[in-house]
Amino acid sequence: MKNTQLLVLVALVFIFSCNNEKKKDQKADDAKPNVLFIAVDDLNTWISPIDNFSNVKTPNFDRLASMGVTFTNAHVQAPLCGPSRASIMTGLRPSTTGIYGMTPDNKIRREGNPATKDITFLPEYFENNGYHTMGIGKLFHIHAPDSLFNESGGRVKGFGPYPEKRFVWDGFGKGIRGTHGRTSTDWGAFPEQDSLMPDHQSVDWVVERLNRKYDKPFFMGLGFLRVHVPLYVPQKWFDLHPLESIETPPYLVDDLKDIPPVGIQINDLPMMPSTEWAKESGEWKKIVQAYLACMSYVDYELGRVLDALENSEYGDNTVIVLWSDHGYRLGEKGTFAKHALWETATKAPLLFAGPNLPKGKKINAPVEMLSLYPTLIELSGIPPYERNEGNSLVAMMQNDEGLDEARAITTFGMNNHAIKMNGYRYIRYEDGKEEFYNHSEDPNEWHNEAGNPKYKTKIDELKALLPKVNSKWDSESNYTFQPYFVEQKKRVNGTE
């Protein structure tokens, strides 16, 4: 009898102990902040908290900036959506993975790529650490790998809605069919109502889920399609930006005269409108107006998300990050596109808000989008992921640590890199040709100083910081819009 009583007592103690541990784990999960992860496609830094270009109307970006920290000098790891997003989601540089072009979402992680075959994607890492994960819209190149999220809202195909006929641009420009891809670049007021925009429907999905109750912290991804071309939004957003008030960005006609041949090849985009065409046709201000209108539309949808979060039970315990996959040129360097290693293509907005972060702070030091993964991990109080190649920005946001050493590296194709540090930009192409710009004297990067002897020490310093690993192109990664990248992949992978 005594033995039986003793066994019962031990069992009760064990059960009680397990229940206590379960409650402790539940409390720990309850204490973890939720994460709202917002991607905006093709958004440059013209928004009001950063450049405030041409009196842009983006009050909700200002609102988010007042809630936390704005990085005014953040740079992407690739000036193209596919490799940029793959870098953010894997925590690895393009030069490590060989993902230099567009790669199907389901092919990023696979046995054929030694760098990514066993990588844990950012949302997965949160799931592995007790989070309920959700996502809608464009987060990876298309949406996300199959079954990545516990709940997926998917993504509307393409970048519509589209009118029956294009307003202005034919999609090919001077490009050659079969050699250059067709682009969705076009601009005009369409459709009639915000509710017809896929982004509006994505926000409806997010708002509905912010009104639910969860038994664990959540990670929610929202990927906006605008301001990606075509630059179509309802007329009311154009009305905010009267054509007579529109500024155009700085432009120098012979800007490319001192650019190395590889840089010229990369910038060869005959399917895109050229700045000279836009000037001669009278369309330049209209393109800028359309881009600003799209910004104001996305700002409105962002406001709907912030309202829903504020009115939910999660408003005080949610980390928000908003980012873009690259910058966008609106006439700078002769064209309307991303696709370059210059400042206007690599720089993009990055904003954080949430518990234990300063409010209304701006940081002007250069940082990398690669830092998103480790920063969100640290802000959420979950263990670091040892595979991350980026550095957390938490200490910089909270205590201004690392400002003087801050730098950002962008890669476009194999062994073509740019580095931004201490007000300088250094670009080195695969053939060893270089560009160098002193932004304090030449903020528009009009004058390549790579051959100027007075900058030799600085150039050597920056050159030493470029990636030492330059992987060959991943076999599933392609970019066919520019012949240079098609040729480079064949050449370096030995597939000619």
The pLDDT tens digits for 324-336 are 999 999 999 999 9
Active site annotation includes 141:
yes
> What average pLDDT score do residues 256-261 get?
97
Percent of the chain with pLDDT over 90: 90
Tell me whether residue 313 is in a domain.
yes
What's the predicted TM-score (pTM) here? 0.93
Task: Please give the pLDDT value at position 17.
Answer: 55
CATH code for the domain in which residue 300 is found: 3.40.720.10
**Which is the catalytic residue, given 81, 132, 180, 339?**
81
What's the number of CA atoms in the CB half-sphere (13 Å) around residue 235? 1
Tell me whether residue 299 is in a domain.
yes
CA 231 to chain centre: 18
Q: Which domain holds residue 255?
A: 33-402
The pLDDT tens digits for 16-27 are 555 555 444 444
Tell me whether residue 460 is in a domain.
no
Task: Please give the pLDDT value at position 276.
Answer: 97
Task: Please give the pLDDT value at position 481.
Answer: 86
Tell me whether residue 301 is in a domain.
yes
Active site annotation includes 447:
no
Tell me whether residue 307 is in a domain.
yes
C-beta of residue 253 within 8 angstroms of C-beta of residue 69: no
Asked if pLDDT for residue 30 goes beyond 80, the answer is: no
Tell me whether residue 420 is in a domain.
no
Tell me whether residue 280 is in a domain.
yes
Q: How many domains does one find in the chain? A: 1
C-beta of residue 391 within 8 angstroms of C-beta of residue 378: no
pLDDT band at 3 (very low <50, low <70, confident <90, very high): low
pLDDT band at 5 (very low <50, low <70, confident <90, very high): low
Distances (CA, A) of 151 to 11, 119, 131, 173, 438: 39, 21, 12, 41, 47
Burial class of residue 349 (count of CB atoms within 10 Å of its CB; 0-12, 13-18, 19+): buried
C-beta of residue 102 within 8 angstroms of C-beta of residue 477: yes
The pLDDT tens digits for 163-195 are 999 999 999 998 888 778 889 999 999 999 999
The pLDDT tens digits for 397-449 are 999 999 999 999 999 999 999 999 999 999 999 999 999 999 999 999 999 99
* Mean pLDDT of the chain, nearest integer: 94
**Which is the catalytic residue, given 132, 141, 143, 180?**
141
Tell me whether residue 418 is in a domain.
no
Distances (CA, A) of 42 to 78, 320, 327: 12, 19, 6
Percent of the chain with pLDDT over 70: 94
